[in-house]
Chains A and B, each alone.
Chain A
Amino acid sequence: MLDNLSYSLKDALKKLAGKTIVDRAAVDELVKDLQRALLSADVNVKLVMDLSKAVRTRSLDEQLPKGTNVREHVLRIVYQELVRLVWASTEVRLEPQTILMAGLQGSGKTTTTAKLARYFQKKGMKVAVICADTFRPGAYEQLSTLCTRIHVPCYGNPAEKDAIKITREGLAALKEHELIIVDTQGRHALEPDLIQEIIDLNVITKATHRWLVIDAALGQQASEQAKRFHEAIGIDGVIITKMDGTAKGGGAMSAVAETKSGIAFIGAGETIEDLERFDADGFISRLLGMGDLKALYEKASEAIKAEDVDVNAIMKGKFTLRDMYKQLEALNKMGPLKQIMGMLPLGNMELPDGVLDVTSVKMVRYRIIMDSMTPNELDDPTLINSSRMARIAHGAGSTPDEVRELLKYFKTMQRTLKGLRGAGSGSKFSMQRLMKKFSGQQ
């Protein structure tokens, strides 16, 4: 997601490597690169200017702390300033509350509403949603279909045109529920009628939270829109959606700075489980290419027991079919491999596209095929000759071609991970060293 941004940032930081004194020209150059990187990530122009000014003055004025080199010093300043930019993570409490969703058309409010319902439901809360989108055809059908799948009650009435009335009735009908999420129609700041509507909705729902849903691809317009929404209803959290594309979310970052709120959640995928808590430190770490281990572990511990996914085994480079099996087993719960790899501290290692693009359907097929292998074969796939292949295919109800494809996938995977290991110096290989390596302190 934030790949390109962190890539150019790291390029900029590399230029400071080996410098022992803070050199004005080098800092200027870094600031210029930083500006370009942030601008191409859609961060608001004014914010970028402020940020780069702060980085520049601080880098030049602040005393170099003992025992750190220039690069660390500047990196720390960039990091701190970026953290300041995204403010803090919004606190999400598991207590009775009402959440009002706001946002532009097509930013993903309805999908996010269902994802949120699922999130709180998994945390053991009694959740219900109200569909106050009376404008878009099919909005109620969409939300109620999604809610039916997770058994969450959804209040709405496609025939009623008055959002306020629906919400009032919905609140009364859903009194029993601890947490109510109100999905609203998409609107933008230049539509006074709709802004008035959301102000009214805010008043009658007495919403505990008013979350602004922002598309990761939103550009310079983000600040302005966020400002207007903030003035109208007082936004206290931002949800960034569509982070599974190539957009970098700089617009959303600007929105956060504008509303002085925090990023509550990040949506990254089309299934109802694809919602994660936002963690500012982690976000920035990832931005700077240091990997976000915390988020990975959080996600992993929620989905599966620790031994299910052995990150360390993968990182050690000892990777057998067994590991791959475990991985595939865990995968359905954890989301696509690409996302997981994004969270590992691999910096911006270029992984071959094919490795990550295995669809979930294929994953299931692969597991079934591996179920038909003997323990020996799992440990040492080189044993598999054509007669064994035929046997495996027969047992799994597939074709030898598919078995061959699986082995090929395994090999690519193995090679990729070996490549990562090879990038380190020597055979001993620890997480920490990798972290260090990719944070740019060779």
Chain B
Amino acid sequence: MFGGLRERLQAVRNRLSSSIGAVVAPPAAEQDTTSPVASSTEPVKTAAPSFVDKVKVLVLERELIVSEKNVAEALSELELTLLESDVALPVTDAIIISVRKNLVGKHRKIGESVDAMVVSALKMALLEVLGKGFDLKEYITSHPHPVKILFTGVNGTGKTTSVAKIGSYLHKQGFSVVIGAGDTYRAGAIEQIAVHAERIGIKIIQHKEGADPSAVLFDTVQYAISHKIDVVLADTAGRFHTKSNLMNQLDKIKRVMKPDLVVYVDEAVAGNDAVIRAAEFDRTIGADAIVLTKADMDSRGGAAISIAHTIGKPLMFLGVGQGYDDIIPFDPVGVVNELLDSA
């Protein structure tokens, strides 16, 4: 994942560097310009430096001020890059504004590396958006057991598979885990999670198809308490945020099992809708962390950026394949560094 985005970001970075660097070539021309470059079409929070300031800075301190014009073209390229990578429109706008804010008006010593400046601006913008990440292991160790984790999300994003993968991950880390088969709606869902649980050697609590999911999950929590299990993973049926009856059901589940963590599961390949539904789930049920599935399908990873930015909650795991081990804890700093450092 992120490979495609990385390639594109590298291109934009070069572009930004060269357009800012180009200013260096005719430093004299800058002084002749009579019209100050305040022709900003879009409002930027940093005030455009006045012409006098620019000249003063240039002459006295041998520094250049990066103007909006210098970066405009490269930024519109960055915008397209992000959109093509499935970063939702509002989020793209936010990133562009952040990069622009960080670059425009910056004083730059002649000879100072343009590249470093651009990279740090892009990095800051992306890190701002991606947040801090979430260490599940650390969370479980530092909280009273059983730690109850509820998985939510729309249909077909991979909740059941993620529950199995995380179960397997925690199991290997030495935690005892029990899974609650809370998807009592979809045909075959209980069989699916039961097979997973058996394969990874985890206890599963299940009722019949059509049973009340709250009851199933309540029983699961009771089981965990009486058997001193460390972690409860609660699977639920996929539901759309537009169906208020199903969202109410989820609310009831939440009231009954009182989860410590609500994990929102979505897929990396989702487009702009990812933002809408993430926001809606966050608003109605709440979300403490995000699991992004199917990241192996997509080398762009824009959905990660979109969702994280929209609900401001950390990404916990990435699902990257069909095997139980195909799940990796998400590390924003690592990802951003990987995206931008190199070459």
Q: CB within 8 Å of B: which residues of A? A: 36, 39-42, 45, 104-108, 110, 135-143, 145-146, 188-190, 215-222, 225, 241-242, 244-248, 250-251, 270, 338, 353, 357, 359
Interface of A is mostly: loop
- Chain B interface size, as a band, is 35 or more
Q: How far is the CB of A331 from chain B (nearest CB, A)?
A: 15
A160–B203 CA distance with the chains assembled, in angstroms: 25
Q: B50 near A: Cβ within 8 Å?
A: no
Give chain A residues whose Cβ lies under 8 Å from the Cβ of B188.
Answer: 110, 138-143, 145
User: B241 and A246: CB pair below 8 A?
Assistant: yes
Q: Which residues of B contact A145 (CB under 8 A)?
A: 187-188, 209
For residue A81, give the distance in angstroms from its CB to the closest CB of chain B. 20
* 10 A-B pairs with the lowest CB-CB distances in the bound complex, closest first: A219-B271, A142-B188, A138-B192, A42-B271, A137-B195, A106-B156, A247-B273, A145-B187, A138-B191, A138-B188
Min C-beta distance of B171 to chain A, whole Å: 17
Query: Is B277 a contact of A245 with CB atoms below 8 Å?
Result: yes
B79 to chain A, nearest CB (A): 10
CB of B187 within 8 A of CB of A245, answer: no
Contact of B273 among A107, A217, A244, A338 (CB under 8 A): A217
B contact residues around A107 at 8 Å (CB): 156
* B61 on interface, CB distance cutoff 8 Å: no
Which of B240, B271, B272, B322: most chain A Cβ within 10 A? B271
Distance between Cα atoms of A107 and B269 in the complex (Å): 11
Contacts A138-B190, A146-B187 given; does A218 touch B242 at CB 8 Å:
no
Q: Are A225 and B297 in contact (CB under 8 A)?
A: yes
- Add 10 more A-B contacts to A219-B302, A221-B300, A250-B272 (CB < 8 A): A42-B272, A141-B192, A142-B188, A142-B189, A143-B187, A218-B270, A219-B271, A221-B86, A245-B242, A248-B272
* Closest chain B CB from A129 CB (angstroms): 13
Would you call A104 and B269 a contact (CB within 8 A)?
Answer: yes
Write the B138-170 contact mask toward A (1 if CB under 8 angstroms, else 0): 000000000000000011111000000000000
Query: Judging by beta carbons under 8 Å apart, are B271 and A217 in contact?
Result: yes
Q: Which residues of A contact B240 (CB under 8 A)?
A: 242, 244-246
Task: Give CA–CA (A225, B300) in the complex, Å.
Answer: 13
Contact present for A219 and B269 (CB under 8 Å) = yes
CB distance from B206 to the nearest CB of A (A): 12
Chain A residues positioned under 8 Å from B303 (CB to CB) = 219
A138: B residues at CB distance < 8 A: 188-195
> Are B273 and A216 in contact, with the CB atoms below 8 A?
yes
Nearest A residue to B92, CB-CB: A39
Bound-complex Cα distance A242 to B209 (A): 22
User: When A242-B156, A357-B244 are in contact, do A42 and B273 touch as well, CB less than 8 Å?
Assistant: yes
One digit per residue, 1 when the CB lies within 8 angstroms of any chain A CB and 0 when it does not, for chain B 180-199 equals 00000111111111111000
Cα-based distance from A137 to B192 in the complex (angstroms): 4
How far is A104 from B192 in the complex, measured between Cα atoms in Å?
18
Cross-chain pairs A/B with CB under 8 angstroms, 18 sampled = A42-B273, A45-B80, A45-B84, A108-B155, A137-B192, A137-B194, A138-B192, A138-B195, A188-B296, A215-B270, A217-B277, A218-B271, A244-B242, A245-B277, A246-B277, A248-B272, A270-B155, A357-B245
Residues of A within 8 A of B245 (CB): 357, 359
Assess the A220–B271 pair: CB atoms within 8 A.
yes
Q: A219 to B274, Cβ gap below 8 A?
A: yes
